[in-house]
């Protein structure tokens, strides 16, 4: 390998560094359109709209000219996984550079054709005009080989001050189809001759199939094939309801060996398990004492993605190739795991993305893809659509891990924090496909020759996994942060919106309020005095102003308000939240104010939409959500067992953007999760003088806290 | 068996068992995929259609029970390219993220506005009691329905 001593600044932006061919990102069509082929995918977050804006901006074309091709392993750039609020940084900055470079290539062609120098050219909606007269369009200039080259470092994107499309709230490119009932999701795809499949899952993660007589199911109406491979059990039928009926029969007649019983469902059980412990931040002397010492313990339970649509995929074995349509967040890593599970070459699997319902992390999209492939292999040539049943989605999707956070601090006699300690216990937050040394797909573990799962892990710091946002952004002279990682989880855990950032920010921001009270300080002022970062201070000041926060304000025994803050991953969006609650029988979050700084906002309304969504989802997590399981398996299997926030309960939300066009754009989707939970806990304390440290804040927890 | 349904003002015949949920007949036999499957248990509202003026979760209705009734699905909300005020309002408010809940919510809202052109905020929230949204688009959806009601009152 050639030695490189180039500084970091000389690399290409975002995912372009590892996908340098221009033609993999973009195609200028002769019909006056531009096809964009990002490797990142739409998961409900509106990313495609923002990417369209970034490309239109650099190419100087109308946004209506842009066509988006679905990501496919057949030709899209490999951008890994659409996760971590990184799509603007990775895909957006790559496409911005590609578009800038393509524009300059086209201008060179135009200059030649028109016989003028580059300085004499201007572009308007793809028409290149020479000052001296004469013009030519991109659509005339584009040739098949023009973009058949690698990106260079030469292209220069526009300055923020020159932006006319970026920074505006372009309407979402996908909304029309979704509100007019068009086929918008993989669930809606109908291929000629398509059959329907269903999977009959074990009663729990440790159960194994002892015996089953498949004959009676094979003879049911419409049944085309029944597939058993070890403990993997599925059925293919002509009609969807026939597949469901056959699956129910399979579930009734299958004899399962329950396996080892599951342990108690208590986050504090984490404290008793062997852990890999690592000090991830240490400053000064962690033994420093002040005038007063404090400690507190916080927990969160397992929570579910609970996407509205159960996962779905279509697979078709055709000749030697396997064609797949899936709402996976990472088609390339999935392809690798699929190849291992099926024992075929990666190049024989063509995976194309098709949107699913809202995706908030590693849900069952990848798992259902292998299910569909296994059934499709039983009926060669036929496309097989497999959709999970709602109950299976709830039982078998990977969950956000339960966590425990123990915080301690010392205050000096001025009421300043002089020492800070944070220990956290959690399972790993990433068990996605693409892990090393195993296959992370449910069906693969159930096969007669089961494939082991890859070792569960965490994304590394600074972003982190369970330790995401565990290192405070506040400036303390002495601090120690320790991550206790318990890799294996009794029920499957993986990436859910903000990973450990939710629980860590909840704990930090709750504890800061507890310390502010001990220091007889206002929570807003107390935060500001421990922060150096001007952008952090700005969002806190802004949200206080929006909510007309009164220094030292106190609730009235029923109503109260509280604040929460975090910078997502300590390196991305700044979010400050104030929540107003009303506590009667249950906690009702009535209003939320939010100030946010995502750097340059590519699409301000899109950012606000994401923030509002994150806020409401976190209100739901905080007040209502907890996955439960018994000795055998998950018991929260319907919307009645696992209620989420309803339209009757939804708070009013007001979001203000502090737009910083000069600062790099960062993602908006996840940063509110922790601050919202803390703001609610702090508001409840403000209202009732009771501190809730265990989520969710259900009626039972409130009653218990009040009577304690 | 052959069953004849009145869907969006047209008689449509499907070949299905009597107990087949209406949802599958709409989606898989009639190609009306705008009505989405969410839970199959009548708990999430993504499959809401209007039957004889009432919002109904179509996963929970046997196709045979829908015979002889007027079924309206989201596909009939717009008249060709002429969007329904609710759809225009959803665009104006950008009331979608993943959008998977939108069809059912639009139909629940239509059933409300068809009988109440001046709903209060509480009326609207109550009308959506059986519809879930997981992306947290609640505020925009509530505003959009209010906006549509205003437009319909003016019309």
**Residue A435 predicted with pLDDT over 60:** yes
At A348-368, the pLDDT tens digits run: 999 999 999 999 999 999 999
At A491-548, the pLDDT tens digits run: 999 999 999 999 999 999 999 999 999 999 999 999 999 999 999 999 999 999 999 9
Residue in the structure block whose two tokens are 């603007």: A88
Sites in chain B below the pLDDT cut of 50: none
**Residue A84 predicted with pLDDT over 90:** no
Contact A456, A492 (CB under 8 A): no
Please answer yes or no on whether B36 and A309 come within 8 Å at the CB atom: yes
Length of chain B: 155
User: Which two tokens mark A42?
Assistant: 């739409």
User: Which two tokens mark A354?
Assistant: 């098709």
d(CA A43, CA A41): 6
* Residue A295 within any structural domain of the chain: yes
Contact A695, A677 (CB under 8 A): yes
pLDDT recorded at residue A6: 43
Q: Which of A397, A278, A400, A409 is nearest to A677 (CA)?
A: A400
**Residue A389 predicted with pLDDT over 50:** yes
Report the CATH fold assignment for B2-76: Ubiquitin-like (UB roll) (3.10.20)
At A114-155, the pLDDT tens digits run: 999 999 999 999 999 999 999 999 999 999 899 999 999 998
Strand partners, A594: A577, A655
A250 and A382 in a common domain: yes
Length of chain A: 708
Number of other CB atoms surrounding residue A404 within 10 Å: 22
Nearest-by-Cβ selection for A44 from B37, B97, B140 = B97
Domain range for A420: 268-302+399-429+465-707
* Residue A597 within any structural domain of the chain: yes
**Residue A2 predicted with pLDDT over 60:** no
A385 and A413 in a common domain: no
Query: Angle at which helices B138-154 and B102-115 pack, to 10 degrees?
Result: 40
d(CA A123, CA A143): 18
A192 and A126 in a common domain: no
Q: Is the backbone of residue A351 left (phi > 0), alpha (psi -120 to 50) or beta?
A: beta
For chain A, give the percent of residues with pLDDT over 70.
99
DSSP E strand boundaries for B25-141: 48-51, 54-57, 70-72
Per CB-CB distance under 8 Å, the chain B contacts of A644 are 132, 134
d(CA A17, CA A20): 6
pLDDT recorded at residue A10: 77
Report how many domains make up chain A: 3
Q: What is the pLDDT averaged over residues A444-473?
A: 97
**Residue A4 predicted with pLDDT over 50:** no
Question: Phi and psi at residue A697, in whole multiples of 5°?
Answer: -90, 75
Contact A177, B78 (CB under 8 A): no
Sequence ranges of the domains in chain B: 2-76, 85-154
Instruction: Suggest the residue from B44, B80, B90, B135 to mutate for an interface test with chain A (most A CBs closer than 10 A).
Output: B135
Angstroms from A188 CA to nearest CA on chain B: 6
3-state helix, strand, coil in chain B (%, to 5): 40, 15, 40
Q: Which residue of B has its CA nearest to A605?
A: B94
A625 vs A134, A619, A622, A637, A702, CA distance in Å?
A: 64, 9, 7, 13, 15
Per CB-CB distance under 8 Å, the chain A contacts of B20 are 239, 241
| CATH code at position A620 | 3.30.365.10
SS3 A565: strand
d(CA A656, CA A543): 8
Angstroms from A340 CA to nearest CA on chain B: 31
User: Which two tokens mark A380?
Assistant: 């060669």
Strand partners, A587: A583
pLDDT recorded at residue A427: 98
Contact B125, A349 (CB under 8 A): no
Number of other CB atoms surrounding residue B129 within 10 Å: 12
**Residue A190 predicted with pLDDT over 50:** yes
**Residue A59 predicted with pLDDT over 50:** yes
Angstroms from B154 CA to nearest CA on chain A: 23
**Residue A7 predicted with pLDDT over 50:** no
Residue in the structure block whose two tokens are 């308000």: A561
For chain A, give the percent of residues with pLDDT over 90.
95
d(CA A122, CA B12): 57
User: Which two tokens mark A594?
Assistant: 């939010």
Q: What is the dihedral of CA B51, B55, B59, B64, to 10 degrees?
A: -20
**Angle in degrees, CA A473, A477, A483, rounded to 5:** 55
pLDDT band at A9 (very low <50, low <70, confident <90, very high): low
Contact A181, B35 (CB under 8 A): yes
* Residue A125 within any structural domain of the chain: yes
A310 and A278 in a common domain: no
Strands ordered across the beta sheet of B2-7: B10-15, B2-7, B70-72, B48-51, B54-57
A225 and A160 in a common domain: no
CATH number, domain B85-154, options 1.10.150.120, 1.10.10.10, 3.30.465.10, 1.10.150.20:
1.10.150.120
pLDDT recorded at residue A3: 44
């Amino acid at each position: 390998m050639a030695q490189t001593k180039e500084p970091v600044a000389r690399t290409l932006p975002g995912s372009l560094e590892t996908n340098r061919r221009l033609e993999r990102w973009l195609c200028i069509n002769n019909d006056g359109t531009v096809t964009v082929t990002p490797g990142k995918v739409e998961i409900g977050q509106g990313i495609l709209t923002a990417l369209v804006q970034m490309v239109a901006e650099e190419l100087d074309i109308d946004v209506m000219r842009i066509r988006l091709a679905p990501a496919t392993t057949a030709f899209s750039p490999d951008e890994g996984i659409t996760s971590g609020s990184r799509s603007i940084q990775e895909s957006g900055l790559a496409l911005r550079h590609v578009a800038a470079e393509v524009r300059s290539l086209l201008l060179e062609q135009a200059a030649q054709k028109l016989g003028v120098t580059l300085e004499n050219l201007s572009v308007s909606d793809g028409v290149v005009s020479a000052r001296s007269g004469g013009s030519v369009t991109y659509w005339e200039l584009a040739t098949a080989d023009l973009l058949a080259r690698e990106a260079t470092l030469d292209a220069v994107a526009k300055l923020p001050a020159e932006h006319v499309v970026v920074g505006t709230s372009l309407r979402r490119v996908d909304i029309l189809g979704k509100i007019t009932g068009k086929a918008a999701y993989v669930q809606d795809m109908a291929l000629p001759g398509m059959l329907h499949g269903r999977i009959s899952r074990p009663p729990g993660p440790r159960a194994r199939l002892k015996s089953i007589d498949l004959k009676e199911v094979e003879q049911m109406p419409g049944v085309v094939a029944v597939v058993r491979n070890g403990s993997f059990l599925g059925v293919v039928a002509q009609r969807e309801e026939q597949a469901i009926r056959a699956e129910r029969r399979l579930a009734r007649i299958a004899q399962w060996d329950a396996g080892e019983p599951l342990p108690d469902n208590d986050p504090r059980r984490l404290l008793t398990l062997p852990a890999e412990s690592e000090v991830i931040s240490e400053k000064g002397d962690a033994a420093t004492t002040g005038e007063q010492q404090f400690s507190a313990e916080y927990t969160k339970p397992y929570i579910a993605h609970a996407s509205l649509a159960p996962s779905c995929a279509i697979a078709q074995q055709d000749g030697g190739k396997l064609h797949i349509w899936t709402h996976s967040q990472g088609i390339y890593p999935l392809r690798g795991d699929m190849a291992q599970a099926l024992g075929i070459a990666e190049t024989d699997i063509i995976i194309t993305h098709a949107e699913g319902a809202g995706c908030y992390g590693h849900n069952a999209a990848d798992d259902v893809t292998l299910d569909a492939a296994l059934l499709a292999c039983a009926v060669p040539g036929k496309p097989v659509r497999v959709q999970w049943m709602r109950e299976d989605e709830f039982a078998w999707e990977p969950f956000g891990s339960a966590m425990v956070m123990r915080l301690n601090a010392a205050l000096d006699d001025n009421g300043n924090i002089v020492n800070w300690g944070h220990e956290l216990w959690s399972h790993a937050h990433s068990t996605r496909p693409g892990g090393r040394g195993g296959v992370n797909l449910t069906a693969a573990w159930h096969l007669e020759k089961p494939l082991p799962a890859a070792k569960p892990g965490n994304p590394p710091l600074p972003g982190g996994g369970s330790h995401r946002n565990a290192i405070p952004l506040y400036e303390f002279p002495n601090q120690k942060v320790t991550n206790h990682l318990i890799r294996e989880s009794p029920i499957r855990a993986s990436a859910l919106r903000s990973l450990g950032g939710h629980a860590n920010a909840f704990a930090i921001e709750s504890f800061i309020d507890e310390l502010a009270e001990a220091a007889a300080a206002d929570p807003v002022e107390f935060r500001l005095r421990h922060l150096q970062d001007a952008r952090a201070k700005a969002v806190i000041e802004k949200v206080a102003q929006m909510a007309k926060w009164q220094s030292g304000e106190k609730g009235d025994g029923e109503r109260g308000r509280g604040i929460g803050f975090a910078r997502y991953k300590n390196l991305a969006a700044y979010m400050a939240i104030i929540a107003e609650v009303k506590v009667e029988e249950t906690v009702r979050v009535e209003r939320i104010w939010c100030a946010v700084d995502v750097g340059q906002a590519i699409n301000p309304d899109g950012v606000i939409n994401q923030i509002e969504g994150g806020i409401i989802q976190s209100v739901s997590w905080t007040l209502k959500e907890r996955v439960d399981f018994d000795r055998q398996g998950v018991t929260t299997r319907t919307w009645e067992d696992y209620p989420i926030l309803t339209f009757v309960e939804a708070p009013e939300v007001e979001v203000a953007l502090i737009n910083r066009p000069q600062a790099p754009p960062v993602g908006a989707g996840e940063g509110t999760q922790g601050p919202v939970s803390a703001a609610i806990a702090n508001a409840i304390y403000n209202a009732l003088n009771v501190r809730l440290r265990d989520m969710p804040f259900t009626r039972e927890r409130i009653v218990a806290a009040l009577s304690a | 068996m052959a069953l004849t349904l009145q869907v969006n003002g047209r008689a449509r015949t499907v070949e299905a068992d009597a107990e087949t949920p209406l949802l599958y007949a709409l989606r898989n036999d009639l190609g009306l995929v705008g009505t989405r499957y969410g839970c199959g248990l009548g708990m999430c509202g993504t499959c809401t259609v209007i039957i004889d003026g009432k919002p109904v979760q179509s996963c929970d209705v046997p196709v045979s029970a829908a015979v002889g009734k007027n079924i309206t699905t989201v596909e009939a909300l717009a008249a060709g390219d002429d969007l329904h005020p609710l759809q225009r309002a959803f665009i104006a408010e950008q009331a979608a993220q993943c959008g998977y809940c939108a069809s059912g919510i639009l139909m629940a809202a239509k059933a409300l506005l068809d009988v109440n052109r001046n709903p209060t905020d509480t009326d609207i929230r109550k009308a959506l009691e059986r519809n879930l949204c997981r992306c947290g688009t609640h505020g925009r959806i509530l505003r959009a329905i209010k906006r549509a009601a205003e437009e319909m009152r003016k019309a």
